[in-house]
């Protein structure tokens, strides 16, 4: 039985949570619900005799959109540790979907009580969510596990790495902070990777065969614009890596990992940057 539960603790790919993407997806889900209610008229909606029925159905759609947006943007902001990408597992994805269903149920219950004068009660809410949960548990678990297996197969295929040569490796690389006073000047070949955190970036580089790091106040995008070497590339929203130092590529359901030849450091590759791995084949 333990082997069956092990899969719940495997890394799971986290969805992109940019503000624009979250807003567009949330509005699309609300629109889908509105069209579904309008066409099929479930839950007794067909019995409504109300000239403002269509407008009130829009309200349900907006509540759904607001719930999904809060779920995508507000919760990760309030609980950043729980939503860390490196610690996102299959069980968290399943739990997250049921939390979303609960939010939508509560939001629409409150909306129905305030605007449509439903007889709202805690018992009604629990019963409604239990019904939704019982109906959703098997498709939700099946979908998450199938998606996990698909991504695991995609990114765990072995990649044979060959050494990358570049005439720019001896060029000077100057990375300047936002204040234009602090900077780091090294050779291209010395750079290992850059990791961003909030408004700062940590630059990891080699000096006299030792790994050194330099903290600089700058966005990762700003530092990326200062790099002209094509073999130093963005691999993730929080990482830039020097591909010439990669000696091995591994992967799990979350995507690829680049293992650098200095102290076997691992740098994640987001799915949107997965094509970078093609340069090693």
pLDDT tens per residue across span 179-213: 988 999 999 999 999 999 888 999 999 998 899 99
Is the domain of 14 the same as that of 35? yes
The residue ranges of DSSP E strands in the chain, in sequence order, are 172-176, 183-187, 191-197, 200-207, 210-217, 232-236, 239-242, 246-252, 255-260, 266-269
| Residue 160 falls inside a structural domain | no
Residue ranges making up the domain that contains 143: 2-155
| pLDDT for res 112 | 78
The answer on 148 and 39 residing in a single domain is yes
- The per-residue pLDDT for 169 is 63
In terms of domains, do 60 and 92 share one?
yes
Q: Are 60 and 33 contacting, i.e. CB atoms less than 8 angstroms apart?
A: yes
Q: Is residue 216 part of a domain?
A: yes
Among residues 155, 178, 196, the one where a domain terminates is 155
Residue 161 lies in a domain: no
Clarify whether residues 107 and 24 are in a common domain.
yes
Let me know if residue 151 belongs to a domain.
Answer: yes
Tokens 């907006």 belong to 62
Residue 141 lies in a domain: yes
pLDDT on residue 166: 66
For position 275, which CATH number holds? 2.40.50.1020
pLDDT of residue 167: 64
Which positions of the chain have pLDDT values less than 70?
1-4, 43, 116-121, 124-125, 128, 132, 135, 166-169, 281
Q: Which of 121, 155, 189 is the last residue of a domain?
A: 155
Q: Return the pLDDT at 144.
A: 94
Count CB-CB contacts under 10 A for residue 50.
Answer: 10
| Close Cβ partners of 96 (under 8 Å, ≥ 6 residues apart) | 71
Q: Give the C-alpha separation, 227 to 177, whole Å.
A: 13
Give yes or no: residues 77 and 181 share one domain: no
**Same structural domain for residues 42 and 78?**
yes
Last residue of a domain, one of 100, 128, 155: 155
| Per-residue pLDDT reduced to its tens digit, 220-258 | 999 999 998 889 999 998 999 999 999 899 999 998 999
Same domain for 38 and 173?
no
Looking at the structure, tell me whether residues 65 and 128 fall in a common domain: yes
Residues 193, 135 share a domain:
no
What is the count of structural domains for the chain? 2
Is 220 found in the same domain as 138?
Answer: no
* Domain assignment present for 134: yes
Closest CA to 105 of 78, 128, 75, 82: 128
d(C-alpha 219, C-alpha 1), whole Å: 46
Q: Are residues 105 and 38 in the same domain?
A: yes
**162 assigned to some structural domain:** no
Asked if residue 71 is part of any domain, the answer here is yes
Q: Is the domain of 12 the same as that of 145?
A: yes
């Amino acid at each position: 039985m333990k082997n069956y539960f092990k899969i719940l603790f495997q890394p799971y790919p986290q969805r992109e949570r940019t503000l624009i993407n979250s807003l567009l997806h949330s509005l699309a889900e609300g629109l889908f619900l509105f069209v579904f209610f309008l066409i099929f008229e479930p839950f007794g909606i067909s019995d409504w005799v109300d000239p403002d029925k269509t407008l009130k159905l829009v309200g349900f759609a907006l509540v759904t959109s607001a719930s999904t947006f809060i779920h995508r943007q507000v919760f990760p902001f309030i609980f950043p540790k729980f939503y860390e990408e490196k610690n996102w597992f299959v069980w968290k994805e399943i739990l997250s979907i049921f939390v979303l269903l609960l939010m939508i149920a509560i939001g629409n219950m409150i909306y129905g009580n305030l605007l449509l004068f439903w007889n709202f009660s805690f018992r009604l809410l629990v019963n409604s969510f239990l019904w939704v949960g019982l109906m959703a548990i098997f498709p939700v678990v099946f979908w998450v596990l199938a998606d996990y297996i698909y991504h695991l197969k995609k990114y765990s295929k072995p990649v044979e790495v060959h050494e990358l040569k570049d005439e720019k490796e001896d060029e000077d690389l100057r990375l300047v902070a936002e204040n234009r006073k602090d900077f780091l000047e090294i050779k291209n070949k010395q750079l290992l990777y850059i990791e961003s955190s909030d408004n700062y970036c940590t630059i990891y580089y080699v000096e006299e065969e030792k790994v050194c790091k330099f903290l600089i106040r700058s966005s990762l995008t700003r530092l990326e614009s200062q790099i002209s070497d094509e073999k130093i590339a963005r691999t993730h929203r929080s990482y830039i890596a020097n591909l010439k130092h990669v000696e091995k590529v591994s992967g799990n359901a979350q995507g690829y990992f680049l293992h650098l030849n200095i102290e076997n450091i691992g740098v994640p590759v987001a799915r949107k940057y997965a094509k970078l791995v093609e340069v090693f084949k």
